[in-house]
Amino acid sequence: HESVKLNHKLPSVIDNSSSHSAESSTTSSRKPKRHRRSARRRQGRGKPRSAPSSSPESKEDEGVVPVMIPAPEGAATNIGQERDDGNVEYKWRLLKVHVDRLEHLTTQMHYRLNEGLGECFYHIGVEDNGNPKGLPHHELQETFQTVKRMANNLGAEVHIIRCQRGIEGNVAELLVRQSSEDDFVDIRICVCGNNSSGKSTLIGVLTREKLDDGKGSARMNIFQHPHEIERGQTSAISQQILGFDNKGEITNYSLFRKGVWPEIIKASSKVITFIDLAGDEKYLKTTTFGLT
């Protein structure tokens, strides 16, 4: 499960020729890595905290704020058998979970977070075979609160991606993300394709939140050399970043000084690096080097 539904809507390119030809471009995604902003790390980060001594029936864990599940959007479908590896976990329901069970579930979440380099996805109301059986609203809400308590023990945050109608009730997809002031997930995407297919224009629009004027204004922010601007073609490897915070909002757009890398990285929990590559055949060696 690689995609995350964002609350912030990305802009589209208005240049008809560029947007149409951009369909022929391809992207090469590298495995995400987790980087530290500084050498100092919090002691014990990433390790499960001890489970609370009190029963979950007596009171909520400290720091867990109740959040209501939103109304369902559309009908859920079977998502396939759950895998033992990876960062995706299915839980049909978690009701009246006691201390020992909570500790086991927290350890399981810790494994899923490690598999996803600080991120994992929980499908609640879903059976192990991927069947969206669903739960009544009050049981779905209690299951969600249990997942939040597990995440709280690990210093992680839980965000609701979507809620859908199941067979006998509703199901929900949750994003669990490790909270950290020092770390961020780094994803690198190589953008390659034919010459004049709109690669640089697309990257310029995504990272600058400014539509193209149909005359190549968006790609001007990507080009590095005068001859690239003059010819309108990429000849050198260019890197641009797009940052996301814990809520999935794009940090490039909210900063006062837009486009300043240190500020984008500081405000982001995930950073996507777009590597813009040349499409002309005479720059094939440069493009190959960028892919490696």
- Which pLDDT tens digit goes with each residue over 263-273? 888 888 889 99
Q: Looking at 145, 164, 180, which one is the last position of a domain?
A: 180
Q: How confident is the model at residue 256 (pLDDT cuts 50, 70, 90)?
A: low
Instruction: Look at residue 108 and tell me if it is in a domain.
Output: yes
Is 153 in the same domain as 263? no
Q: Looking at 180, 208, 225, which one is the last position of a domain?
A: 180
Instruction: Look at residue 120 and tell me if it is in a domain.
Output: yes
What's the rounded Cα separation, in Å, for the pair 94 and 151?
14
**Predicted pLDDT of residue 210:** 83
Q: How confident is the model at residue 260 (pLDDT cuts 50, 70, 90)?
A: confident
Q: Looking at 180, 213, 231, which one is the last position of a domain?
A: 180
- Side-chain-side CA neighbours of 64 within 13 Å: the count stands at 21
Instruction: Look at residue 1 and tell me if it is in a domain.
Output: no
Is 60 in the same domain as 175? yes
Q: How confident is the model at residue 147 (pLDDT cuts 50, 70, 90)?
A: very high
Instruction: Look at residue 96 and tell me if it is in a domain.
Output: yes
Q: What is the dihedral of CA 63, 64, 65, 69, to 10 degrees?
A: 160
- Which pLDDT tens digit goes with each residue over 198-239? 888 898 888 888 888 887 788 887 787 777 777 777 777 888
User: SS3 breakdown of the chain: % helix, strand, coil, rounded to 5?
Assistant: 30, 20, 50
Instruction: Look at residue 66 and tell me if it is in a domain.
Output: yes
pLDDT at residue 74 tops 80: yes
Q: How confident is the model at residue 7 (pLDDT cuts 50, 70, 90)?
A: very low
281 or 53, higher pLDDT: 281
Q: 10 Å Cβ neighbour count for 50?
A: 9
Is 79 in the same domain as 155? yes
Is 168 in the same domain as 202? no
Is 257 in the same domain as 137? no
- Which pLDDT tens digit goes with each residue over 76-127? 999 999 999 999 999 999 999 999 999 999 999 999 999 998 889 999 999 9
State pTM to two decimals: 0.54
pLDDT at residue 46 tops 80: no
Is 206 in the same domain as 256? yes
Is 142 in the same domain as 198? no
Is 229 in the same domain as 150? no
Is 175 in the same domain as 252? no
Instruction: Look at residue 6 and tell me if it is in a domain.
Output: no
Is 173 in the same domain as 231? no
User: What's the domain range around 52?
Assistant: 47-180
Q: How confident is the model at residue 19 (pLDDT cuts 50, 70, 90)?
A: very low
Q: How many domains does the chain have?
A: 2
Is 27 in the same domain as 117? no
Instruction: Look at residue 5 and tell me if it is in a domain.
Output: no
- Side-chain-side CA neighbours of 63 within 13 Å: the count stands at 12
Is 205 in the same domain as 250? yes
Instruction: Look at residue 8 and tell me if it is in a domain.
Output: no
Which regions of 145-182 does DSSP assign to beta strands (E)?
Answer: 156-165, 170-178
Question: What is the DSSP secondary structure assignment for residue 135, as one 8-state letter?
Answer: B
**Predicted pLDDT of residue 222:** 79
